Structure 1
Amino acid sequence: MMIGASSFPAIAAAVRAGRGLAAKADIGAAAAALGLSGAGAVPVGDDCAAIPDGDGFLLFAIEGFMNEFVAADPWFAGWCGVMVNLSDIAAMGGRPVAVVDALWANGADEATPVLQGLRAAAERYGVPIVGGHTNVRADRRQLSVAVLGRARRLLTSFAARPGERLIAAVDLRGRYREPFANWEAATDAPGERLRADLALLPEIAEAGLARAGKDISQAGLVGTAAMLAECSGVGVAIDLAAVPAPAGVDPARWLMSFPSYGYLLAAAPADVPEILGRFTARGIVAGDIGTIDASGLVAVVHDGACETIWNVKAEPLLGCHPRREAA
């Protein structure tokens, strides 16, 4: 990612003040009100709830969508209802089983494009929608979608360790879907490619190449790294020059973007080449973007300069680090 030395502090400031990062901080209040934390029998703070089940785990996740997004791009909102949930399952080293949705709309005509988007994504990704809830007598469109999956071996936000490397893998074969900061690289892709690309994550987990990972969410790459750092009780330093990025993109916008396919993984240095090679073989751009340490600081570095974005030990983002909760 090309960054001028004079613009680096401004980029860091924009990321620090980003809407997506602030929204993730709201999770802490909800978790506290519900009495949830990373110290529970099923730790909270991951992309999915990982529920022990036999020799593996059931994975359970849900996504709710901003009203303005559903109103502005209802078909794509429906598509994303499936896509982002499947991404969460993959981020935990799992494979999806089924999806359900909850949709509110002011009449059947308002509901139709959302339902069409849901159906199109489910068919392309090869995952069934098995039911849900529909209300077409509401005053506006609203959408929430949940998914069930299964993992043999977990990737989790709680397993990154000092001394490991931080890897980012992003499908850059796309474009922004305006006006939101959504990097869309899925709707034109064949189903076989979409399914095989998602399968890379459980394959990496099952091969023992990585234990920790996270789906790059609306908090963007840096915000997602902050959530990973908090849950694992570590710090990260991200080299912006190593971050996979499309040519000509505004760096600040990119760091706060939500890619349709984007993941962070923590791995031992010796396993990094194998992981990068697996993504590269499928046309996905992946890079070793930084270090994991014990500081609790989430920082970005460029050309010898360093800017701290968040101190997850001094100011929890999610309130989900189990060791802090147990202290």
Structure 2
Amino acid sequence: MESGLWRRRCLAKTQLTVLTDDARNAEHGLLPAENPLTTAYELDKILGRGSVGFVYRARRRADQREVAVKIRHVPEAAVIQSCQQEFEVLKKLEHPHIIKVIDFVVLEGQAALIFDFCCEGTLRSVLKQSWAAGLPVASLKPLSQKLLDAVNYLHRRRIVHRDIKPENILLQDDLQNLWLADFNTACQLMSGWSLTMTGTLDYAAPEVLQGESPSEKSDIWGLGLSLHFMAVGKLPRKLGHYADLASFAAAVASKEVNLQTQEWQEVPLGYCDIVAQCLRLDKTLRPASMLLLESPWFRDHSLKRAVSETSDDEDDIGMWVCRNSSI
């Protein structure tokens, strides 16, 4: 019997169509010409699409502010409520390297999260287009530090992203800035609360593949794989190269990632050390994001991190639990 998640994905693929102007929406898509989303936002081109929705570049009609609109097919009322809870927490986050959530719109069978528009490229797409063998060495320190600071900001507020990967890291073409994005699976941690396994299996930590709940430690694993990809343009292993999930999970859990190959010879030792620490098989040996930020390799590259200090709203955020965000 098909699972509810599988049915939702099938529905999304066959039913969710939102086109780039009001008239076409009315003629070809599910959204009527007049609806709360297109009344407030002018949708432009599609930036990306997934199993349950689309992401559009758009403008807010009131002030022409550029935004990204992520529309998800959400047939159950409980899932819409979960999206609303997610928005209420994420809108409180203020960090220069975390994409800013600014609005939430509910439609019939759909929910739209509106973010500040930062750039069109992701770490994966920019590398695929221009840096197939990895980013220039000079970019590794500033970009990895910014990404680490974003992860640390979340973890200080007990938020686990659960899907850190190159596709969820927005990167400017000039390599000067990046933003952590896509909080579909992000959840708040609370003592005794068990999180379900979500995210992308290629980036899943060994313990998560073995059935444990995601945690800050599994975020650090995903961070390590993203830094691996940033440096050499590929992952150490991919699910598609194995006969099945079980053999992939066994390899991830038993084989240390090799950073001694030729492609790593030009990568700074300090960067290699950070990647190696993130990818330790034993989750208890992976450092917290704060400790990684204090690595000697970063000492000569100061990053303003005032936003990562405890803020007045931290305790409020810390009481929130995302009850069902795996859509």
Range of TM-score over shorter length: 0.3 to 0.5
Provide TM-score, normalisation by structure 1: 0.33
Q: Which has the higher strand share?
A: 1
- Whichever of the two has the greater Rg, that structure is 2
Structure number having the greater helix percentage:
2
